[in-house]
Amino acid sequence: MSLSNPSQLLLRNSELLTAKNPLLINLPEDGFIDAYFKLHNPSKISCFNTNFIDYQAVSAKHERSSTQSVQAIFAAEYQSKIYHDLVIIAFPKSKAELNFTLAMIVHCIDETTKVLLVGEKKGGIQSTPKLTEDIFAHCQKIDAARHCLWFAGLVKAEKLSIAFNLQDWFKKYQITVEGIELNIASLPGVFSQQKLDVGTALLLSNLPKEMAGKVLDFGCGAGVISCFIGKKFTETQLSLLDVSALALASAQESLALNGLSGHVFPSNSLSKVNEKYQHVVSNPPFHQGVKTHYQASEEFLAGINKQLNKQGDITIVANSFLRYQPIMQEHIGNTHVISKGQGFTIYQAQLSSK
């Protein structure tokens, strides 16, 4: 993989990256780690990713290396006893996630630790000075090139003593759908963090009339869909997957708030799906970072037939401009438009007997 534009921006100022124990947060595996080892030969590089795909890529390439010491971590929060003298953060797609990330690392840095933020301009990184004014003692623009910006800051000394508690960062709210009251918890950056989105509301009103057995919630986000199904259809067994560690932690918290249980797990599309299900439901994601991606959702729709029981069904909601119906028709079976409204379409298909 070729170096991304943010990584190229960092490496053209490589003299500013010297460190013994750097921490990389949500950087992709694009060759930057190899380049960093050649330039600075650090004792160890810690790579923390909340995206399961990026975590897998880092882990697969580096954790078995005999010449590099790389620790790959996938979790909702970073916990370490290592002191980091440099932290490099990929600017998050959600601005709300930035201060969450900065608060999360104060236990393993001090007031001399250089904290670098890098990202594409169209991702909103220009707002870094304003977003960090409460936590950074100093924030300086270091460089701009390849449609990217790079900022550096030092965390205020008084912020370093504030203990990070994940529970403090959940936004909790109540919604009522078809007379069923749900309690939802969501971390910064998780889809539909503070209210029920239009697409999911339409989906919940158009589920199968009866549901029992194993249910897979693909791209579960904060767990709204599964919580509704678990309360309305008590004979279901819930499985919830997402690529985001923040979403998975949110979904687990939402289940607990509603007195429900489920198997919550990370997966790159269907890579970690090993069971078969009677029902699959999804508001499939099609955005990743600042660019639009359809591949994961299309792979999911093309491959889900292998994970459906005989006569199993799938119900999804999608923006009406997305052409998911032909994919479902080809790979699953007869696909019907159940409902349309406010720019969204509900598709339902039952596995064809072959």
What's the confidence (pLDDT) of residue 293? Answer: 55
Bridge pairing between strands 236-242 and 213-218 = parallel
If you classify domain 5-165 with CATH, what class do you get?
alpha beta
Confidence at residue 178, expressed as pLDDT on a 0 to 100 scale: 93
DSSP bridge pairs for 336 = 348
* pLDDT at residue number 1: 58
What pLDDT does residue 288 have?
A: 44
The angle subtended at Cα 279 by Cα 275 and Cα 280, nearest 5°, is: 80
For 256, the token pair is 């607990």
Give the ranges where the chain is alpha helix by DSSP (H): 5-11, 32-40, 52-62, 96-104, 128-131, 198-204, 224-232, 245-257, 295-303, 325-331
Architecture label for domain 170-350: 3-Layer(aba) Sandwich (3.40)
Query: Which parts of the chain have pLDDT scores under 50?
Result: 287-292
Residue that the structure tokens 């490589």 belong to: 14
Interval 122-153: pLDDT, tens: 999 999 999 999 999 999 999 999 999 999 99
**pLDDT recorded at residue 64:** 75
Distance between CA atoms of 111 and 60, rounded to whole angstroms?
33
CATH 3.40.50.150 in the chain: give the residue spans: 5-165, 170-350
DSSP state of 108: G
